[in-house]
Structure 1
């Protein structure tokens, strides 16, 4: 094994949105053995780098679902933006269903009115972490807006009409699965668009070439590492593309059923240091003994 890549939310991060001591220790152990460890997340670069820095970790980061790839030193080496016409179509689809959405750009993150939808995000997070108190979750939601630097705007026209601003990702939330399905249906024929999700209550929109799998293949090739020598760890459908191409794929115990079905191995939950368990097992037993 020459490279390990891991998702963040629901995977590397625990219920407190932190990298546990156990996970950090396992990552450092792999790095000391000469194995590259790469983060692959839907988060923006700064929001991904913060919990890593707090845990004393330094890793290359595939962010915004593969739209950008950063080296360990912070150098940007891959940048794939959405077409502005596609952006307008996504905006129209979301607003037609009164669904809250955010956009992530080269100038930061934007939303129309985040305050009106904080309760939705709280409910979404409670679905993931039912044992965490509501007031704690609300503080996490507010912190998320700060970490992602989400700015409030009256409309997105000045962004879509500005050739100097690239849009990398849309993220929309709804507690009603029918709403998300109707949005997906409106955009299903947009061939330059990839639609994924990182949870039951959201959809994520990127350029078709901006997915974790493509970004992982790009980075691995750049480093001269064959995909058969890559282990990928994830929990949801925005991880599908990288789990599908990795030589060895690991699902979290808390992963979506469809993700578990395509993976070689299921590790422990993200709240039980599942990334550390997977890394330690692969380092100790190798691939053949680990597969079940």
Structure 2
């Protein structure tokens, strides 16, 4: 293996949203042995880079599910915005169905309601951690505000009219599985959009070329590395394109069984330093 690509949430990050000492050490060990490492995430660049900086790592970042690819010194290598009219159609559907959503753009993340934002984050945390305390819940909500700089606006009309703003991703949430399925069916035949998810209660809409697998293969090409020499690690459906395209696709122990079945390897959970375990196992085979 010559290149490692790792997702963040549910993969490199533990349940507290941090990179463990073990995971950081394993990445440094791989780098010292000449193996390149890149992060591939649904997050924005800044939200992805923050946990890396906390442990002293500077890595290239594929952000927004493959819409943007940056070098380790933040030089933009690839830029894939969404079709504007398609984005407006998705926005209209979400508002009509009262689905909370966020629009990721070149000028930040936008949403309509701060109260809805807090409610959704609380619902996410309670769904993922049913035994969470009120204090822990409040900390988690505050952390989301710190991780991603969400701006709240009254409507999207001015945003869509501003041609200087690029639209990269629309992230929609609902605890209603039928509504999520309805949204998926509404747009899955649209050739201008690719639908994935990073959790059981959300849908992520991107341009079809803004996929982690496509972005990773093009990044590997710039390094003159064949995809058979790439190890990719992930836990969810927005990781699937890179997990199946990589020569060594590693599913986290906390991934759905559907994800695991399509990977060549499975590692420990993100709460058990699964990334470090997978890297050490791979390096031992070299």
TM-score in same-fold range (> 0.5): yes
Secondary structure, counterpart of 1:39 in structure 2: strand
1:155 Cα deviation from its structure 2 partner: 0.7
Distance 1:5 1:129, change over 3 A: farther
Give the corresponding residue for 2:150: 150
**2:72 is matched with which residue?**
72
Q: Is the counterpart of residue 179 in structure 1 residue 179 in structure 2?
A: yes
Partner of 2:19: 19
Q: Which residue pairs with 2:236 in the alignment?
A: 236
Partner of 1:35 in structure 2?
35
Deviation of the 1:131 alpha carbon: 5.3
Distance 1:271 1:131 in 2: 17
Q: Does the Cα contact within 8 Å between 1:4 and 1:35 map onto a contact in 2?
A: yes
Contact 1:126 1:134 in 2 (8 A): no
Question: Does the aligned pair in 2 maintain the 1:40–1:66 contact within 8 Å?
Answer: yes
Runs of 4+ in 1 over 4 A off after TM superposition: none
Distance 2:22 2:130 in 1: 23
Deviations 1:212-235 (A, max 9, x none): 001001100011000000000000
Assess if the C-alpha contact under 8 Å between 1:122 and 1:134 holds in 2: no
- Write the distance in 1 (CA, Å) between the matches of 2:158 and 2:140: 30
Matched position secondary structure for 1:26: helix
Alignment of 1:108-119 (within 5 A): 108-119=108-119
Counterpart of 2:7? 7
Partner of 1:51 in structure 2?
Answer: 51
1:88 maps to 88
Are positions 1:188 and 2:188 aligned together? yes
Segments of structure 1 that go 5 or more residues without pairing to the other structure are 287-292
**SS of aligned partner of 2:56:** coil
Instruction: Please say if 1:126 is aligned against 2:126.
Output: yes
Q: Secondary structure at the match of 2:185?
A: helix
- Residue 117 to residue 107, structure 1, CA distance change in 2 (3 Å): closer
**In 2: Cα distance, 1:229 partner to 1:36 partner:** 11
Judge conservation of contact 2:31–2:37 (CA < 8 Å) in 1: yes
TM-score by length of 1: 0.95
Aligned residues: 286
1:193-217, Cα deviation, whole Å (9 max, x unpaired): 0000001000000000000001001
Give the TM-score, by structure 2 length.
0.97
| Partner in structure 2 of residue 270 of structure 1 | 270
- Residue 139 (structure 1) shift: 2.0
1:15/1:129 contact within 8 Å kept: no
DSSP 3-state at the match of 1:110 = strand
Which secondary structure does the structure 2 equivalent of 1:175 belong to?
coil
Residue 203 of structure 1 pairs with residue 173 of structure 2: no
